[in-house]
């Protein structure tokens, strides 16, 4: 018997069978397994019908050779994979996601630290401020950035007013402008899981770290960040997935000179009506984004594992 | 004999007893028609000016599905024989696609009471025009002088204030074709336009998504762009400094058309809906602000902001053969992406 088991107040009773609730069915038994899975069945069936099946269809469509879906072959994949322009688009899409993740981390983590140290009242205020953008449509938030970043927008009025530049800065339709707007648009997706993890960190650990002689910086790097790693990884994952697929923001803020996979998929599916090639690009987006997400999740597990166990 | 009358009466009575509630229900319902409609201004305009007279005159409820033209084609194709709506509203490119793919019922214009008021160019075996669109150059008169034609857009002071869009839309496609023609290209050869654009690319004020262009103009991101008269009048009504210039090579025109979806179960109601849309009263109402549609009913007096005084004058405008353009559009979109990409 393990030490934990021997210290359990129920350990002695288990032997006598007195005062214990009826034993739960073993998860290994057939009936128990069914009872465990039954509540999830409706969702699982809906998931299979409305997500897994269309996804499989997407894979199948990508292997049609022509727009009329008449023959099978590898034409679309050859066209996609053996063209440097498509690889550039994939790279630009992933890079946009990584830059957005980096920017949200740089701006979001200090806010999360302020949140951790704040009183319950200010924590509620901060939480409201963080959640507030989610109450507005992403389309509205995106168009608001045109007003902010435009040639005659708020930023340029400020820059010209302060005499910091002679001509208006070009902020719209640049990658910098797009990353900036996506940082604001996606910030709640980073902060919500990070704040949830931060609020659960035991304050005594900071005191212990300080009493053992660690500087605040060392406490941050060696205690707080590793403890918050699962939340940070979850946030990064959400921000990355959302920003790489942010079709509206990429189109409206980025403009026609920044080509990303979601716009390419839309053009092929809706304007050109070439579903097989659109499906190929969609599968490429899915696979490439999933690969980066797997790396982020692994990094989160490694960073978290250092302190958890 | 006497016995037969009551039997007939009884039969009639029984039939009436079953039929009258049905008739009453049918009259009460009057049926419905589902039409695809462009999101935004079109949807609002039809809700305000088409649905009420359709209900009043024919007791038909208008249900609308907001979809862009390409989305309508894609949705119909995906529905595989069970049309998701009774009527399409399409620009010329998707219209040709719809005809080629057999998506429309044959159209009999004789069923329209307003047939005589429609120019013959607007009616064919597949549908009827419901609005005209005139494409040219829009500019901010407070920022740049009036451009003379498409070639001016590539010179100072216009080029550094120029906002362009690609081949995703009808107005974008025909504008780029017209630009290509100015520089030696043709309806099927847009290379000269792409070559000229590439030369001035670093100077351009914006290369935008079509839906973003009005916003970019309104915010001063660009002060000159190719667009249609409807966008110009709509922005003007909102107080934006914008004017429409007819290029020296002429304005371009195309018609937005209504079609009955193949397999529709509401064909009679669809005809009534189309008849109401092209009626004089509705076309007149749609022409007024804030919707600013270019009317197709010859009984409607054209608004002052339009570059023609009658629909007949539109015969002088540049038109395009979409059966030749459609097969090239996919490769053009890809070419535009490659040439414009940073």
Distance (Å, whole) CA A271 – CA A136? 29
What pairing do the DSSP bridges indicate for beta strands B252-260 and B243-245?
Answer: unpaired
Tell me, yes or no, if A161 comes closer than 8 A to chain B by beta carbon.
no
Distance (Å, whole) CA A150 – CA B222? 10
Whether the Cβ atoms of residue B258 and residue B72 lie closer than 8 Å to each other: no
CATH assignment of the domain containing A112: 1.10.3720.10
Distance (Å, whole) CA B194 – CA B178? 12
The CA-based angle B63-B69-B71, given to 5 degrees, is 80
With a CB cutoff of 8 Å and minimum separation 6, the contacts of A228 are A112, A194, A197, A198, A201
The CA-based angle B222-B226-B231, given to 5 degrees, is 85
Q: How many CB atoms lie within 10 A of CB A157?
A: 13
Taking the model in full, what pTM does it have? 0.79
pLDDT over 50 (residue A125): yes
Contact B330 A146 (CB under 8 A): no
Give B194 or B41, the one with higher predicted confidence: B194
Domain that residue A191 falls in: 75-135+170-308
Kindly state the percentage of chain A with pLDDT values over 70.
Answer: 88
Q: How confident is the model at residue A9 (pLDDT cuts 50, 70, 90)?
A: very low
Tell me, yes or no, if A154 comes closer than 8 A to chain B by beta carbon.
no
Distance (Å, whole) CA B65 – CA B84? 9
Q: Residue A242's closest CA among A133, A101, A130?
A: A101
The C-alpha of B275 sits at a distance from chain A's nearest C-alpha, in angstroms, of: 29
B167 contact residues in A (CB cutoff 8 A): 271
pLDDT over 80 (residue A264): yes
Residue bearing tokens 């749609």: B286
In a domain, A155, yes or no: no
Q: Which two tokens stand for residue B15?
A: 């039939």
The C-alpha of A42 sits at a distance from chain B's nearest C-alpha, in angstroms, of: 26
Distance (Å, whole) CA B111 – CA B114? 9
A85-99, A282-296, B73-87, B165-179: the lowest-pLDDT one: B73-87
State the Cα torsion B252-B161-A250-B334 to the nearest 10°. Answer: 50
Whether the Cβ atoms of residue A108 and residue A235 lie closer than 8 Å to each other: yes
Q: How many CB atoms lie within 10 A of CB A193?
A: 20
At B268, give phi and psi (nearest 5°). -60, -45
Q: Give tens-digit pLDDT for B10-31.
A: 434 444 444 444 444 444 446 9
- C-alpha dist (Å) from residue A12 to A22, A24, A200: 16, 19, 34
Tell me, yes or no, if A247 comes closer than 8 A to chain B by beta carbon.
no
Provide mean pLDDT across the span A146-155: 88
B135: helix, strand or coil: strand
Provide mean pLDDT across the span B83-88: 95
Provide mean pLDDT across the span A25-34: 62
DSSP A29: S
pLDDT over 80 (residue A33): no
Q: How confident is the model at residue A108 (pLDDT cuts 50, 70, 90)?
A: very high
Q: How many CB atoms lie within 10 A of CB B243?
A: 14
Tell me how far apart the terminal alpha carbons of chain A are, to the nearest angstrom. Answer: 22
SS3 content of chain B, % helix, strand, coil (to 5): 50, 15, 35
Tell me, yes or no, if A25 comes closer than 8 A to chain B by beta carbon.
no
Written in H, E and C, the secondary structure of B179-224 is HHHHCCCECCECHHHHHHHHHHHHHCCEECCHHHHHHHHHCCCCCE
Q: How confident is the model at residue A31 (pLDDT cuts 50, 70, 90)?
A: low
Q: How confident is the model at residue B150 (pLDDT cuts 50, 70, 90)?
A: very high
Beta strands in chain A (DSSP E): none
Put simply, the chain A residues between 46 and 105 with a CB less than 8 A from any chain B CB are: 85, 88
In a domain, A31, yes or no: no
Please, what is the average pLDDT of chain A? 85
In a domain, A147, yes or no: no
* A27 burial via Cβ count (<10 Å: 0-12, 13-18, 19+): exposed
Beta strands in B52-127 (DSSP E): 61-66, 87-90
Q: How confident is the model at residue B63 (pLDDT cuts 50, 70, 90)?
A: very high
Classify the phi-psi angles of A259: left when phi > 0, otherwise alpha if psi is within -120 to 50, otherwise beta. beta
Distance (Å, whole) CA B98 – CA B154? 36
In a domain, A297, yes or no: yes
In a domain, A21, yes or no: no
Please, what are the domains in chain B? 27-132+254-312 (3.40.190.10), 135-252+320-340 (3.40.190.10)
In a domain, A184, yes or no: yes
State the Cα torsion A23-A25-A28-A34 to the nearest 10°. Answer: -160
Q: How many helices (H) and strands (E) does chain B have?
A: 12, 9
Whether the Cβ atoms of residue B242 and residue B217 lie closer than 8 Å to each other: yes
Q: Residue A186's closest CA among A122, A282, A250?
A: A250
Of A85, A258, A274, the CB nearest to B330: A274
Q: Which two tokens stand for residue A289?
A: 């984004």
A131: helix, strand or coil: helix
- C-alpha dist (Å) from residue B112 to B104, B123, B274, B275: 17, 11, 8, 5
Q: Give tens-digit pLDDT for B158-213.
A: 999 999 999 988 899 999 999 999 999 999 999 999 999 999 999 999 998 888 89
Q: Give tens-digit pLDDT for A156-185.
A: 999 999 988 888 888 888 999 999 999 999
Cis peptide bond prior to A184, omega within 30° of 0: no
Provide mean pLDDT across the span A208-230: 89
In a domain, A19, yes or no: no
Kindly state the percentage of chain B with pLDDT values over 70.
Answer: 91
In a domain, A51, yes or no: no
A72-86, A135-149, B43-57: the lowest-pLDDT one: A135-149
Distance (Å, whole) CA B16 – CA B20? 5
Whether the Cβ atoms of residue B63 and residue B115 lie closer than 8 Å to each other: no
Provide mean pLDDT across the span B90-100: 92
With a CB cutoff of 8 Å and minimum separation 6, the contacts of A47 are none
Q: Which two tokens stand for residue B84?
A: 């998701």
B339 contact residues in A (CB cutoff 8 A): none
B107: helix, strand or coil: coil
Q: Which two tokens stand for residue B136?
A: 């040219």
Whether the Cβ atoms of residue A65 and residue A71 lie closer than 8 Å to each other: yes
Of B70, B168, B206, the CB nearest to A173: B206
- Which stretches within A49-118 are classed as H helix? 53-61, 75-81, 84-117
Looking at residue B304, what is its pLDDT?
A: 72
Count of structural domains within chain A: 1
Contact A146 B212 (CB under 8 A): yes
What is the complex's ipTM, to 2 decimals? 0.73
pLDDT over 70 (residue B62): yes
Distance (Å, whole) CA A116 – CA A124? 11
Nearest chain A residue to B327 by CA distance is A272
B62: helix, strand or coil: strand
Q: How many CB atoms lie within 10 A of CB A162?
A: 8
Provide mean pLDDT across the span B103-113: 96
């Amino acid at each position: 018997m393990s030490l934990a088991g021997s210290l359990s107040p129920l350990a002695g009773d288990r032997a006598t069978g007195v005062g214990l609730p009826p034993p739960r069915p073993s998860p290994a038994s057939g009936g128990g397994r069914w009872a465990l899975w039954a509540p999830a069945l409706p969702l699982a069936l809906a998931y299979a019908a409305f997500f897994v099946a269309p996804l499989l269809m997407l894979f199948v469509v990508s292997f049609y050779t022509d727009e009329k879906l008449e023959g099978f072959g590898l034409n679309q994949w050859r066209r996609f994979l053996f063209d440097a322009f498509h690889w550039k688009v994939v790279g630009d899409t992933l890079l946009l996601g990584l830059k957005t993740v980096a920017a949200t981390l740089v701006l979001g983590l200090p806010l999360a630290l302020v949140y951790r140290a704040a009183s319950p009242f200010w924590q509620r205020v901060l939480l409201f401020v963080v959640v507030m953008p989610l109450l507005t449509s992403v389309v509205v938030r995106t168009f608001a950035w045109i007003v902010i970043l435009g040639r005659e927008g708020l930023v340029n009025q400020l820059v010209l007013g302060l005499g910091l530049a002679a001509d208006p800065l070009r902020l719209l339709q640049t990658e910098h402008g797009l990353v900036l707007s996506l940082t604001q648009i996606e910030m709640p997706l980073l902060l919500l899981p990070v704040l949830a993890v931060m609020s659960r960190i035991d304050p005594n650990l900071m005191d212990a770290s300080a009493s053992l002689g660690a500087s605040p910086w060392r406490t941050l790097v060696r205690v707080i960040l590793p403890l918050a790693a699962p939340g940070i990884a979850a946030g990064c994952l959400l921000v990355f997935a959302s920003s790489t697929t942010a079709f509206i923001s990429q189109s409206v803020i980025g403009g026609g000179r920044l080509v990303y996979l979601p716009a390419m998929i839309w053009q092929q599916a809706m304007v050109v009506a070439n579903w097989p090639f659109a499906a190929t690009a969609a599968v490429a987006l899915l696979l490439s984004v999933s690969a980066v997400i797997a790396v982020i999740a692994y990094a989160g597990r490694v960073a978290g594992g250092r302190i958890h166990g | 004999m006497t016995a037969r009358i009551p039997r007939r009466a009884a039969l009639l009575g029984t039939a009436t007893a079953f039929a009258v509630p049905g008739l009453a229900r049918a009259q009460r319902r009057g049926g419905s028609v589902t039409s695809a409609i462009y999101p935004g201004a079109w949807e609002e305009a039809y809700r305000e000016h088409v649905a009420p007279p359709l209900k009043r005159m024919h007791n038909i409820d208008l249900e609308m599905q907001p979809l862009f033209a390409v989305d309508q084609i894609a949705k119909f194709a995906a529905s595989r024989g069970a049309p998701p709506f009774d009527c399409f509203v399409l620009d010329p490119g998707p219209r040709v696609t719809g005809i080629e793919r057999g998506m429309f019922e044959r159209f009999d214009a004789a069923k329209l009471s307003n047939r005589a008021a429609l120019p013959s160019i607007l009616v064919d075996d597949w549908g009827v025009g419901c609005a005209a669109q005139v494409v040219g150059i829009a500019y901010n008169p407070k920022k740049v002088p009036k451009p003379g034609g498409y070639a001016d857009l590539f010179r100072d002071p216009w080029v550094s204030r120029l906002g362009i869009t690609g081949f995703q839309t009808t107005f974008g496609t025909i504008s780029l074709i017209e630009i290509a023609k100015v520089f030696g290209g043709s309806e099927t050869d847009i290379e000269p336009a792409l070559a000229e654009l590439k030369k001035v690319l670093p100077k351009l004020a914006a290369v935008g998504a079509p839906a973003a262009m009005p916003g970019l103009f309104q915010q001063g991101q660009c002060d000159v762009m190719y667009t249609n008269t409807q966008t110009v009048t709509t922005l003007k009504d909102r107080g934006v400094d914008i004017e429409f210039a007819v290029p020296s090579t002429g304005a371009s025109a195309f018609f937005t058309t209504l079609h009955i979806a193949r397999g529709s179960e509401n064909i009679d109601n669809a005809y009534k809906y189309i008849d109401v849309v092209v009626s004089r009263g509705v076309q007149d109402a749609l022409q007024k602000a804030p919707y600013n549609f270019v009317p197709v009913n010859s009984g409607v007096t054209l608004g002052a902001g339009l570059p023609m005084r009658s629909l007949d004058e539109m015969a002088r405008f540049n038109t395009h053969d979409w059966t030749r353009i459609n097969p090239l559009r996919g490769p053009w979109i890809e070419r535009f992406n490659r040439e414009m990409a940073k």
